[in-house]
């Protein structure tokens, strides 16, 4: 069965700390990978995506993620978090060619203390 | 980016009544839209794929007679929760894709009392 697993459910960091959120997937075939962020009271927004090519992708707001095919992983990183990064983060996958039908991980709540 | 708008943002209804949620693509046409459900502290679960001019495709375990989907135009899909019960209380989110990116509505918080 297709699934996405996020390792951390709730992460608390101080400002300027480094962030890494784990994401592993189980999905047959070639996949596209995404990280979404949901700020309190707002829409889900795309942080970054991987379709092909360089496995290290850079997104908005200083986030990046690395696709490691052998580990079925797509971990999200940021060298130095800010208080404004406090949000819910979702990893998601879909099958190549089927952009809209996403399988989401459980989500990680990130709380950044000022 | 493209804008997807949901209405209402929140709704409270009595058990046994039906509730309609609208999802509109404001600045693009969407032949396909997707409906998700999010329980508290949990992830988004795909409920169904809404296809303009044809029947929706439901994910396994989703009752199609309970969650009626209509996609009558290229900019509007509706989800009707029929004979709502408290267990239907949840956060419902729609999305539509433009090129390779999915855009999400702001969600609708449904509370059934």
Residues of chain A with C-beta less than 8 angstroms from the C-beta of B93: 44
Q: Which residue of B has its CA nearest to A51?
A: B100
Per-residue pLDDT at A9 exceeds 80: yes
**What is the model's pLDDT at position A2?**
80
Cβ contacts from A onto B, under 8 A: 55
Per-residue pLDDT at A1 exceeds 80: no
Closest approach of A25 to chain B, Cα-based (Å)? 14
DSSP chain A: --EEEES-SEEEEETT--EEE-EEEE-SS-EEEEEEEE-TTS-EEEEEEE-SS-SEEE-GGG-EEEEEGGGTEEEEEESS--GGG-EEEEEEEEETT-TT--EE---EEEEEE-
**What is the model's pLDDT at position B39?**
83
Q: Which of B43, B96, B103 sits opposite A106 (nearest CB)?
A: B43
> What tens digit of pLDDT does each residue of A27-46 get?
878 889 999 999 988 888 99
Element spanning B107, H or E: none
Q: How far apart are CA B83 and CA B68, in angstroms?
A: 11
Q: Which residue has the tokens 């208080």?
A: A83
> What tens digit of pLDDT does each residue of B7-57 get?
999 999 999 999 999 999 999 999 899 999 998 777 899 999 999 988 999
Report chain B's mean pLDDT, rounded to a whole number: 93
Backbone angles phi, psi at A98, to 5 degrees: -130, 70
Residues of B with CB under 8 A from a CB of A: 4, 32-34, 36, 41-46, 49, 93, 95-97, 99-107
Report chain A's mean pLDDT, rounded to a whole number: 92
> What tens digit of pLDDT does each residue of A77-106 get?
999 999 999 999 999 998 877 767 899 999
Beta strands B19-25 and B57-58, pairing class: unpaired
């Amino acid at each position: 069965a297709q699934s996405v697993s996020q390792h951390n459910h709730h992460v608390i960091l101080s400002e300027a700390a480094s962030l890494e959120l784990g994401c592993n997937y189980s999905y047959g075939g070639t996949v596209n990978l995404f990280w979404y962020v949901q700020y309190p009271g707002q829409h889900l927004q795309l942080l970054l995506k991987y379709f092909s090519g360089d496995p290290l992708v850079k997104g908005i707001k200083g986030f990046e993620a690395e696709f490691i095919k052998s580990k079925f992983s797509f971990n999200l990183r940021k060298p130095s978090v800010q208080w404004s990064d406090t949000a819910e983060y979702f990893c998601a996958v879909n099958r190549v060619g089927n952009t809209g039908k996403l399988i989401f991980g459980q989500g990680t709540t990130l709380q950044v203390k000022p | 980016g493209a804008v997807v708008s949901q209405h209402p943002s929140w709704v409270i209804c009595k058990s046994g009544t039906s509730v309609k949620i609208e999802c509109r693509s404001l600045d693009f046409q969407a032949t396909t839209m997707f409906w998700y459900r999010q329980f508290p502290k949990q992830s988004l679960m795909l409920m169904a794929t809404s296809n303009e001019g044809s029947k929706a495709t439901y994910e396994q375990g989703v009752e199609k007679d309970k969650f009626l989907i209509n996609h009558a135009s290229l900019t509007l899909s509706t989800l009707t929760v029929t004979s709502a019960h408290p267990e239907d209380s949840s956060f419902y989110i729609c999305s539509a894709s433009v090129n390779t990116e999915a855009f999400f509505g702001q969600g609708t918080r449904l509370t059934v009392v």
